[in-house]
Every structure is written in structure tokens, then in C-alpha cells.
Amino acid sequence: MPRHAPARQDASGPAPRAADAAQRRRRLSGALLAAAGAILFSGKAIIVKLCFRHGVDAVTLLALRMLVAFPFFLLMAGWAARRAPAPLPAGDRWRVALLGFVGYYLASFLDFAGLAYITATLERLILYLTPTLVLLIGWAAFGRRPGRLQWVALGVSYLGVALAFGHDLQTGGDDIVLGGALVFGSTLAYAFYLAGSGEAVARVGAVRLTAYASSVACVLCIGQFLLLRPLAALALPPQVYWLSLLNGTLCTAVPMLMVMLGVARIGSGPASQIGMLGPVSTIVLSVLILGEPMGPWQVAGTLLVLGGVLLVTRAPVSAPRPPRAA
């Protein structure tokens, strides 16, 4: 009897269709998590501005935020440590501590201090320049030369910030300059953190690095308050404590976890593009809740920044330049 050839598996059968459906659900849930995280993150500036109306200063407000978020970061760090193959070497501990100081403590403090002088909309636009600064740091420090399209994107991004900054400067004067400089310093600090965390992420892991560095920042922010402010400074209106509770949970720890889960499901590229919802939601919330003005200059600046950053994150980078001869 002739042998029968083995039946070929139908590529359109129920098993592949079920796998495709599961993959689509996973990507959809990842996109929704990244979007929700970006929107919740954007609420931080709104809450900070509301707290400033009750007379609280940036040092106290940042300490309250980190005090609320600290237990979440410790839980995340414990979970990541149990899943890690080995404890951190001493050298990596110092690197993580330095990254926590620059990327989370210094960036957060400068951001909160700057928000006392500028609108939440302008703050979010300046913070959104982070990818452009990472690109420039990579060019200066590692020889990753930007391509022509990326140079155009850089120009578009900074033109957008200049439009919004120039409009606010007409009404705010020197305070706008000071606030803008502080927030730009925050953006630069976080860009240095991102540029310097590549090797640490490979050795430590993204979740463990984020949890450890954030915990370091919490200790520094709380310690800064204890050094610079008396305990009597905690005699604040109840609204400040409720807002700080929201800031530390829904606008800090929860969106951080959401974004990480979203990145794990759809990748960092799509997640960063979805993150463009952040500036848009900040603008909407600042108009609806804070009553901040929104004119054509701010709209034009926002569109230019979003478009420029999108080009920066999607355009290819040219090969690193060769080292100079000695």
C-alpha cells in the first residue's frame, strides 16, 4: 500500500487564529497601559500647581510626594531583587545611586522648583525635549552623529518651545526665564540619566534599576526636607495632603508600573510615541482645571514640539564617528 503523505497543518486553522487574537489583545492592552500611564504622569504638574496655591514650597511638596511613593518603590525593588539571578556588585550599587541622584532626585527637584514660575503647559513642552537632549548627548559623548532629518527635527522642536516661551515671557518677565531654566535643567538631568543608564539596564535590569534609583531619590528628597525645613512646615492644609497622596500614587508609582508593562507588551518605540499623549493631556487639564490661557502661539508651539520629537525618535542615527588620531 502506498504511503500517505503527512497532512500539512492549515495555517489558517483555529490554533493560529487564536494565537493572532491573543497577540492583538496583548498589543491592545499594552497600548492602553502606555496611554493611561502617560496621561496619569501628566497630572503631576497640575497637582503641583494646585498645591502651590496653598502656600507650600517645592522642597516640602517633593518630600510629601516621595514619602507616599516610597513604599511602592520598595515593593517593586523587593520583587525585582527576588527575580534577579544575583545581588548587585558594589560597583553597580554606586552607579545606581548616582543615576538615582541625577535622574530622579535632581530632575524632580528642578522640575518642582521651576513649576512655581511657569505654566504647566510650558513645563511639559520643555520636559518633552528629553529625546532631543539624549540625541545631542549621544553625539557629543559617544559619537552617534544625528542624521539630516534629525537635525531638522531638533530645529522644529526648539522652535516650538521658543514660540511658547516667547509668548509666556511677555506676561511673566524674569520669573518665566528662571522657571524655564530650572525645568530645562530638569530635562537635561533626566537626559543624562537616560544616556548613562544603557549599560546599567543591561546588567541590572530595567525594573530593578528603576525601583532602586527611585528609592534612592525618595531617601534624598525626604532627607533634603529634614535638613532644610522644620517639622512645623508640615502644618499644611488638608488639601495639600490629599493632593500629595494622589501625586505619589496615581501620578507617580501607578503610571510608572503601567508604562513598564506597556513597554513589555508593545516595545519602547511604540510606547514612546503613545507617550505624546502626555503633553496634550497636560494642556487640556491646565486649561480645564488651572484656567491657564491657551492661545494660538501655545498651540503652534505644542504641535511643533510634538512633531519634532516624533521625527527625532523615528529617524535613524548615522554610524558612530571614528576616534580621532592621537
13-52 tens-digit pLDDT: 666 777 777 788 888 888 888 888 888 988 999 999 999 9
| Predicted confidence (pLDDT) at residue 11 exceeds the cutoff of 70 | no
Least trusted range by pLDDT, from 1-10, 106-115, 137-146, 211-220: 1-10
pLDDT in tens, 158-189: 888 888 887 777 766 678 889 999 999 999 99
- Predicted pLDDT at 286: 87
| Predicted confidence (pLDDT) at residue 157 exceeds the cutoff of 50 | yes
Q: Residue type for 153, please?
A: A
Q: Is residue 57 part of a domain?
A: yes
Q: Alpha-carbon distance 276 to 291, whole Å?
A: 22
- Predicted pLDDT at 93: 87
Average pLDDT over residues 56-85: 92
The set of cell numbers assigned to 179 is 522657571
Q: Alpha-carbon distance 126 to 129, whole Å?
A: 5
pLDDT in tens, 113-135: 999 999 888 898 898 888 888 88
Helix axes 206-228, 58-83, angle to 10 degrees: 150
Structural domain count of the chain:
1
What is the band of 149 on the pLDDT scale with cuts at 50, 70, 90? confident
- Predicted pLDDT at 154: 83
- Predicted pLDDT at 250: 92
Q: Is residue 32 part of a domain?
A: no
Average pLDDT over residues 265-280: 75
The Cα angle at residue 94 between residues 88 and 96, in degrees rounded to 5: 70
pLDDT in tens, 181-208: 999 999 999 989 888 877 777 788 878 8
Distant-in-sequence, close-in-space partners of 267: CB < 8 Å, separation ≥ 6: none
DSSP 234: G
Q: 77 lies in which domain range?
A: 38-314
| Predicted confidence (pLDDT) at residue 318 exceeds the cutoff of 50 | no
Higher pLDDT, 313 or 37: 37
- Predicted pLDDT at 184: 94
DSSP 85: S
The alpha carbon of 45 is separated from its chain's Cα centroid by a whole number of angstroms, namely 12
Q: Is residue 325 part of a domain?
A: no
| Predicted confidence (pLDDT) at residue 325 exceeds the cutoff of 50 | no
Distances in Å between the Cα of 238 and the Cα atoms of 26, 54, 63, 65, 67 are: 41, 10, 16, 14, 16
293 contacts 132 by C-beta, under 8 angstroms: no
Q: Is residue 42 part of a domain?
A: yes
- Predicted pLDDT at 319: 38
282 contacts 124 by C-beta, under 8 angstroms: yes
Q: Is residue 172 part of a domain?
A: yes
Distances in Å between the Cα of 252 and the Cα atoms of 47, 68, 245 are: 12, 9, 10
Q: Is residue 213 part of a domain?
A: yes
Mean pLDDT, the chain, whole residue set: 83
- Predicted pLDDT at 304: 84
Please name which of 218, 184, 188, 43 lies closest in space to residue 114, comparing C-alpha atoms. Answer: 184
Reported as half-sphere exposure (CB side, CA atoms, 13 A), residue 244 has a value of 26
153 contacts 308 by C-beta, under 8 angstroms: yes
Higher pLDDT, 322 or 155: 155
Q: Alpha-carbon distance 307 to 313, whole Å?
A: 10
Which DSSP helix (H) or strand (E) runs through 298? helix 296-314
Q: Of all residues in the chain, what percent carry a pLDDT higher than 90?
A: 33
Q: Is residue 102 part of a domain?
A: yes
Please name which of 115, 157, 117, 166 lies closest in space to residue 134, comparing C-alpha atoms. Answer: 157
Q: Is residue 22 part of a domain?
A: no
